[in-house]
Amino acid sequence: MQLYQYNVYTPETFSASGKAKKDVSQIFKEMDIGDIYMPSRHRIIRILQQSAAMLKHHRNALIFIQYPAVIDGFIKAMRRKSGVTLVGILHDISCIRGESTPQAEMKILNCFDWLISHNPSMTEFLRQNGYRGNVVDLGIFDYLHDPQRPTMPAEPGNTVCFAGNLDKSAFLPALGTLSDLRFLLYGVNHLNTVRELPNADYRGMIPSDEIPYQLEGSFGLVWDGERTDCCSGILGNYLRYNNPHKLSLYICSGRPVIVWDQAAVASFVNEQGIGLTVGSLQEAARRINTLDPADYTRMVANVQRLKHRLATGDFMKTALHTVINSLSHTV
């Protein structure tokens, strides 16, 4: 069986999406999974490249496709080719975010024989909405980096870092009410609404390959929506299903995390002992200010143990090997 990746173009976006897809492509290369084509930086040329790839007959081929990253029509075209097994690596599910309907999205996802899902909550959503293929749960996204390169020290305190697209994080202006905490904000910030917060410092945009070594603060925050007393709205609800890539970033920066207790990743955080799961940011402030330094030290040690797995792509490689080995046994 021949193994191929359906390559994607991954420019620097100063956010999670570009880094996650770039890392998956690199992991494919490390596993000697071949390229269907080498994507141009120009979109029109990439479309022509993908069209040319459709004309090739990859008999007895296992093809890995990152989703969503490829035009739906090309996924359907690959599905129609005989002798091809398709595996989708899920980055986002648009229907959970209200960008499509479950029925429409499942028509695309059912083109895949296998899916690598984020976690059991996402897998349950897929099953309930009609996905019929095989599923492997990832656990957490990897974050390729140099684990030997020093990061900023993680020490007990009330400083919390938050990285991401700040323009889309509607809860940020309310951070000013959390006077017991100090926030360090990193990422896209065209609106400038966070610059005037009395308890927050904006640290600018840092490339995704560089930011693990520059993040500061005692904790990394995984939060979304419009409020600080819960994760609300469409984006807040999305945390019930997805693995936020910023969680992986914080781990690789050596920082324990603060996560909404109803997020899909809350169970992972608790099982690994790498942070606090809370119902509100007000609760986070109380728990941080009463946290035993010995408990914080244990969290940091657990984070350090886990970051080496993320640095080498261990979680994605394990999931890919599960798919490959299962198919090898059926040939």
- Within 8 A by CB and 6+ apart from 150, the residues are 213
Task: Give the rounded percent of residues in the chain with a pLDDT score beyond 70.
Answer: 89
Task: Give the rounded percent of residues in the chain with a pLDDT score beyond 90.
Answer: 76
**Where does the pLDDT of residue 13 fall: very low under 50, low under 70, confident under 90, or very high at 90 and above?**
low
Question: pTM here?
Answer: 0.93
**Where does the pLDDT of residue 71 fall: very low under 50, low under 70, confident under 90, or very high at 90 and above?**
confident
Query: Are 135 and 70 within one domain?
Result: yes
Query: Are 174 and 298 within one domain?
Result: yes
- Is residue 154 assigned to a domain? no
Sequence-ordered strand ranges (E) for the chain: 2-6, 34-35, 61-67, 84-90, 114-117, 134-137, 159-163, 182-186, 200-202, 219-222, 257-260, 275-278
Query: Mean of the pLDDT values across residues 129-138?
Result: 98
Query: Are 126 and 193 within one domain?
Result: no
pLDDT at 133 over 90: yes
Give the per-residue pLDDT at 325.
Answer: 95
| 31 within 8 A of 313, measured Cβ to Cβ | no
- Is residue 17 assigned to a domain? yes
Give the per-residue pLDDT at 16.
Answer: 59
Query: Mean of the pLDDT values across residues 43-58?
Result: 65
Q: State the CATH number of the domain containing residue 116.
A: 3.40.50.2000
Query: Are 86 and 108 within one domain?
Result: yes
Query: Mean of the pLDDT values across residues 32-45?
Result: 73
Q: Which residue has the tokens 């020290």?
A: 153
- Tell me the Cα Rg of the chain: 20
3-state SS of the chain: helix, strand, coil percent to 5? 40, 15, 45
| 255 within 8 A of 248, measured Cβ to Cβ | no
Give the per-residue pLDDT at 49.
Answer: 67
- Is residue 90 assigned to a domain? yes
Neighbours of 35 (CB within 10 A): 14
pLDDT per residue over 194-206, tens digit each? 778 999 999 999 9
**Where does the pLDDT of residue 2 fall: very low under 50, low under 70, confident under 90, or very high at 90 and above?**
confident
Query: Are 130 and 174 within one domain?
Result: no
Give the per-residue pLDDT at 259.
Answer: 98
| SS3 (DSSP) at 164 | coil
Domain that holds residue 69: 2-142+313-330
- Is residue 148 assigned to a domain? no
- Is residue 137 assigned to a domain? yes
Q: State phi, psi for 281 to the nearest 5 degrees.
A: -75, -20
Query: Are 108 and 215 within one domain?
Result: no
User: In the numeric block, which tokens belong to residue 72?
Assistant: 């739906």
| Chain-centre distance for alpha carbon 61 | 27
Give the per-residue pLDDT at 184.
Answer: 97
Query: Mean of the pLDDT values across residues 90-108?
Result: 95
Give the per-residue pLDDT at 56.
Answer: 64
Q: What is the DSSP letter of 154?
A: P
* Distance set, CA 321 to CA 24, 144, 236 (Å): 14, 18, 32
pLDDT at 190 over 70: yes
Three-state secondary structure along 22-91?
HHHHHHHHHCCCEECCCCCCCHHHHHHHHHHHHHCCCCCEEEEEEECCCCHHHHHHHHHCCCEEEEEEEC
Query: Are 126 and 227 within one domain?
Result: no
- Within 8 A by CB and 6+ apart from 113, the residues are 85, 86, 87, 133, 134
Tally of structural domains, the chain:
2
- Is residue 36 assigned to a domain? yes
Distance CA 177, CA 194 (A): 13
| 130 within 8 A of 261, measured Cβ to Cβ | no
Give the per-residue pLDDT at 196.
Answer: 81
Query: Are 81 and 33 within one domain?
Result: yes
Give the per-residue pLDDT at 234.
Answer: 95
Query: Are 283 and 216 within one domain?
Result: yes
pLDDT per residue over 246-300, tens digit each? 999 999 999 999 999 999 999 999 999 999 999 999 999 999 999 999 999 999 9
| 242 within 8 A of 118, measured Cβ to Cβ | yes
Query: Are 8 and 137 within one domain?
Result: yes
* Distance set, CA 157 to CA 136, 274, 289 (Å): 38, 16, 8
pLDDT at 331 over 70: no
Distance CA 84, CA 57 (A): 9
